[in-house]
Structure formats: C-alpha cells, structure tokens
Chains A and B, each alone.
Chain A
Amino acid sequence: MSEHDKIRELLALAAADALTRAEEKQVAEHVRSCIACSNELGAWRPIASELRRLPTPQPSSWLVQATLARAEAKLTEQAEHDWNRRVMIVFVAFAWLFTIADWPVFHFVSGHFGSLLEPQFSYTWISFAAFTALGWLAGGVAAVMLAMRQRGEKRLA
C-alpha cells in the first residue's frame, strides 16, 4: 500500500478528529501536497460537521419523572433490604451466642458451676452444641440455595 493510499484511509478519521498527533501531522503534510486527498478531506468535513450538529432528541418530562419515581422506589426497597439483613445478622449472632452460652450460664446461675467440669455434663453440652450447629448449617445451606434460585429466576424474568 502506497503512502497516498494509507493517508486516504485516514481521511475520514481526520474529519472525525480521531487521529493520533503523529497521524494528524502525517495527514496534514500529505494533504498540503496532494490535491486529490485535500479534496477528499474536504468532502468528509461537511459529513462530520453535520453529524456533530444533529438535533438531540429529548426524553419527555413524564419519562424522567416516572424513571425517578421507579428509581426512588428501588432505592427505598434496597435500604429496607439492607436494614432487614442487618437485623437478621444481629438475630443470628444472638441466637448462636445464646445457644452456646445458655447451658453454662444456667449452671452458673443455679450454683452448680462445678458441674461444668464433670465429664458427663461436658459430653451433653458439646453434643447439644454440635446438633444445634448442624441445624444452623443445614438452614444456612438451604437459605443460600434458595437465594441462588431466586436470583436465577429474576435473571430469566
């Protein structure tokens, strides 16, 4: 491809102001000495100029208001969702704490603190805590699976 052909390919981009500095310089130098390319660049310029001046279609005020109303509703919904999530986290943390601590606390309050050290009590307490943990784990897995399924359905909708 000759220099002339290369420059000719750049002329549309030159009219669109989409060339690098080096390319701009190259085009400017060539156009000064090539009448055909100079005319060609002159033919591209009105197209680029008209494209820049195309009228901008305006969205109706109704559309803007409706969008704002829907977006605000979404923001409020998200804020509520965040609040619910925080409350849920606090409840879950409390439930865990309560589950693990209730038996020792009960024994401590009832004056049988020494029974904490009894092998029989430790065995019962650990088994109880393990069963509770399993229950929570199963519940957590079910909740995650449900959330994933709901998200998938939302995407399809």
Chain B
Amino acid sequence: MRLFLALIRITSMVGATALSLEGLVAVDAEVVRLRRGDLNALSELITRYQNRLYRYLLRIVRQPAEAEDLFQQTWLRVVEKIRSFDANRNFDAWLFTLARNLAIDHLRRIRPESLGEPLANNWHSETVADRIPCKDHTPLDHVLAGERRTEISEAMAGLPMMYREVLTLRFEDEMKIEEIAQVTALPVSTVKSRLRRSLEQLRYALEARYPGGTWQ
C-alpha cells in the first residue's frame, strides 16, 4: 500500500514538473516569437498571464479601473521593451517587475501616502500569537469557507501596499522567495522578513476585526 502511494506521489510530482517545464518552454517560444514581432505570440502571452497580472495589479492598487489601466500599460511596455529582455531571465519576474514599476509610479502620483512604510506599532515587539489565546482546536468548521475568504480578502486589502504585494506573490502567484526578490529588487532576507510581518499584520487585522478568533 505504501509503495503504491509512493508511486502515485512520484507520478504526480513528475507530471507536475513536466507540466511546469512545458509551460516554461512555451513561454520562451512565445517570447522569441514576440521579439520577431509576431502578433499571435503577443495574444498567447496576454491570454496566459491575464489573470495573474490583473490580480497582482488589483491587489496593489485596489481600484479595478486603475488596475485595468495599468494592465494595458504593462503590455504596452512589454511590447516596447521585449527586445531588451534578456532571454536567460525569468519572463514571469520580468513581467511582474514591469507591472510593479508602473503601479508604483502610478501610486506615487495619485496616492503617495499609500506607499509609505507602516508605522512601527507596539504589537511588533511581541508576536501576535502572544496576544491570541491558544486553542486546542480551531473553530474553522463553524464558519463557511466563502465567508472566511471574504474576511481574509478584506483584511488583506487594509494592509500596506508592500505587505499586500508580498502576500499575493507568495500565496496567489505561488512565487518562490527568490522570484519575489527578483520582482521587488530586494534581498531574500528582506523578502522573508516582509512576508513574516505581512502575515503577522494580517492575523492582527483579522483578530482586531473579529475579536476572540471568530473569523476562523
């Protein structure tokens, strides 16, 4: 039985790796075609990245109209800069870096206060868990999953931009820490500490909204 389970696991891992490699090769081929000015390659790239890119921009700027405008600008920038793209680099990271730079420029013009570092709160000196009573069991089963996601989504929207960004890149885009470091142009250690703080702030925000752990 154990051998059978191990075999299934290995097969699924090999399958996932093959799929991911296939995706990477396809992206590379599309990028090469786009560099030659192939319109179909552009269409394929937009289709491939539309959801991830739009979600990332929406998490950063929070306003759908602004995210839509930035989405268009990002692809125009891709067309403009594709020839200077180094084929040895990761296209995902390059694309998200372009989007990020545009979004930050936009926020700097429209809402510069939203880019500011959050003030050091007292709760930073202690871990959030120190103030949340430990429970032997989580009451997750008592609340509907959809409601929980709405709660998390709302709490996340209330976080500073740099925390929202790192959360969406890690959990929604499933980027590795090294990839996030590439996109944000930060050292890996900074990305890790930013990710930890963003999770702590999220938990703190959830706890503040729903005292006593009722959000769970």
Q: Are B51 and A59 in contact (CB under 8 A)?
A: yes
In terms of DSSP, what is the predominant structure of the interface of chain B? Answer: helix
Which residue in A44, A47, A54 is a CB contact (below 8 Å) of B153?
Answer: A54
CB A141 to nearest CB in B, in angstroms, measures 26
Residues of A within 8 A of B68 (CB): 59-60, 63
Q: Are B149 and A55 in contact (CB under 8 A)?
A: yes
Residues of B within 8 A of A12 (CB): 195-196, 199-200, 203
Complex interface: stretch among B3-11, B94-102, B166-174: B166-174
Q: Is A40 an interface residue (CB 8 A)?
A: yes
Residue interface bits A3-28, CB-to-B below 8 A is 1, else 0: 00000110111011010000000000
Which residue in B42, B50, B195 is a CB contact (below 8 Å) of A16?
Answer: B195
Which residue in B140, B145, B171, B177 is a CB contact (below 8 Å) of A51?
Answer: B171
Residue interface bits A31-60, CB-to-B below 8 A is 1, else 0: 000001001101110111011111111111
Q: Are A68 and B43 in contact (CB under 8 A)?
A: yes
Residues of B within 8 A of A16 (CB): 170-171, 195, 199
Given contact pairs A39-B134, A47-B199, A75-B79, A57 touches B171 in the complex (Cβ within 8 A):
no
Which residue in B39, B43, B199 is a CB contact (below 8 Å) of A44?
Answer: B199
Q: Is B115 an interface residue (CB 8 A)?
A: no
In terms of DSSP, what is the predominant structure of the interface of chain A? Answer: helix
Q: Are B42 and A75 in contact (CB under 8 A)?
A: yes
Residues of B within 8 A of A112 (CB): none
Q: Are B172 and A56 in contact (CB under 8 A)?
A: yes
Q: Is B202 an interface residue (CB 8 A)?
A: yes
Complex: chain A residue closest to B52, CB-CB: A56
Report how far A56 CA is from B52 CA in the complex, Å: 8
Complex A-B: 29 CB contacts under 8 Å = A8-B129, A9-B127, A11-B129, A12-B199, A16-B171, A18-B192, A39-B136, A40-B127, A40-B129, A47-B152, A47-B206, A50-B149, A50-B152, A51-B171, A51-B202, A53-B149, A54-B152, A54-B156, A54-B171, A56-B51, A57-B54, A59-B50, A59-B51, A59-B71, A67-B75, A71-B78, A71-B79, A78-B37, A78-B79
Q: Which 6 residue pairs of A and B lie closest in terms of their CB atoms, listed nearest first?
A: A51-B171, A59-B54, A12-B199, A39-B134, A74-B79, A40-B129
Interface positions of A (Cβ within 8 A of B): 8-9, 11-13, 15-16, 18, 36, 39-40, 42-44, 46-48, 50-60, 63-64, 66-68, 70-72, 74-75, 78-79
Interface positions of B (Cβ within 8 A of A): 37, 39, 42-43, 46-47, 50-52, 54-55, 58, 64, 68, 71-72, 75-76, 78-80, 127, 129, 132, 134-136, 138, 140, 145, 148-149, 152-153, 156, 167, 170-172, 174, 177, 192, 195-196, 199-200, 202-203, 206, 216
